[in-house]
Structure formats: structure tokens, C-alpha cells
Amino acid sequence: MIYRGSWRNTSGLGMLVLALVLLFAISGLYMSAPLLLGIAAALAVWLFALRLLWVRFGPISLEYRGWSRLHSVQWREIVAVTHALDLPYPKNRLYSPSSYEVRTGSETFIINLLYFPAAAAREFAAHTRTPKRAGLDA
């Protein structure tokens, strides 16, 4: 199944960013400050760019389109999946509690499930058999 990223899947983050867009846009117009208008535009573009993120869980492969590139691996190639909070310092401070490090024989990448529905996290956990962390996983 394919899941698309959206700000609607983040509890409160989307609304906070929308409020900031509105605040920066009104302030930029009122004070004739192009910098504030640029910040508002950048935040609005970021919200819509979340739609570019997607993850697909197939019967034999995992495909994850992150911010920078597409990762495609077979389930059997995955050597280990580590919860982001279990990574060594300082890497564990860089990623959200809904992130996982996926290691294969040839590459290592982070999959961030924050912007996807809770069903995506459940399906990922079912495929990888990642242990549940109390209060952090959907």
C-alpha cells in the first residue's frame, strides 16, 4: 500500500505552521517587509511539499521517497531496523520519535513516519517486527 505525506497527519504541527504563515504574511504586508513575506511563502511551500513524500509497503519491497532521494529495498535485504531514540548520541537528537534507521548490506537510511497516517507506522512495524515503545508508536 502507498501512503502520502500530509500536514494533516501531524497533530498540531500543520495548524501551527498555518498560523505562522498567516502571522508572517500579515506582518510582512503591514510593515512592507519582503523578508517576512518570503518566510511566509517558504513555510507555505513546505506544507505543500509534504505531498511529495511517500512510502510504499509492497509484499516484497519497501520504497520510501524522502526529502532528498528515493530508497527502494527488498524486505529480505534489511539487516536491522533501529528506533531513532535508540541510536547513539547525537543521532538520537536529530530525528523524531517516529523515525527509524533501516540498515541493509549496502546502505543505511532514516525513514521518518511523522508525516504519514498511523496505519503506515503499524504496517511498517508489522513488516519489520520493530518493538513497540510505550506511548511513542501508533
Distance CA 83, CA 35 (A): 38
- Domain span including residue 13: 2-51
Domain membership of residue 62 (yes or no) is no
Domain membership of residue 31 (yes or no) is yes
Strand-pair partners of 71: 64
pLDDT of residue 18: 92
Q: Which residues contact 68 (CB under 8 A, 6 or more apart)?
A: none
Domain membership of residue 138 (yes or no) is no
pLDDT of residue 138: 46
Contacts 24+ apart (CB under 8 A), 118-127: 118/9, 119/3, 120/3, 120/55, 120/57, 123/1, 123/57, 124/55, 124/57, 124/62, 124/100, 127/57, 127/62, 127/75
Domain membership of residue 38 (yes or no) is yes
Count of the separate structural domains present in the chain: 2
pLDDT tens-place values along the chain, 138 residues long: 899 999 888 878 889 999 999 999 999 999 999 999 999 999 999 999 999 999 999 999 999 999 989 999 999 999 999 998 888 898 888 888 889 999 998 999 999 999 999 999 999 988 887 555 544 454
pLDDT of residue 113: 92
Residues 46 and 7 in one domain: yes
CA angle 46, 52, 53 (to 5 degrees): 100
Domain membership of residue 63 (yes or no) is no
Residues 41 and 85 in one domain: no
Residues 83 and 115 in one domain: yes
Domain membership of residue 122 (yes or no) is yes
pTM recorded for the entire structure? 0.78
pLDDT of residue 13: 86
Domain membership of residue 101 (yes or no) is yes
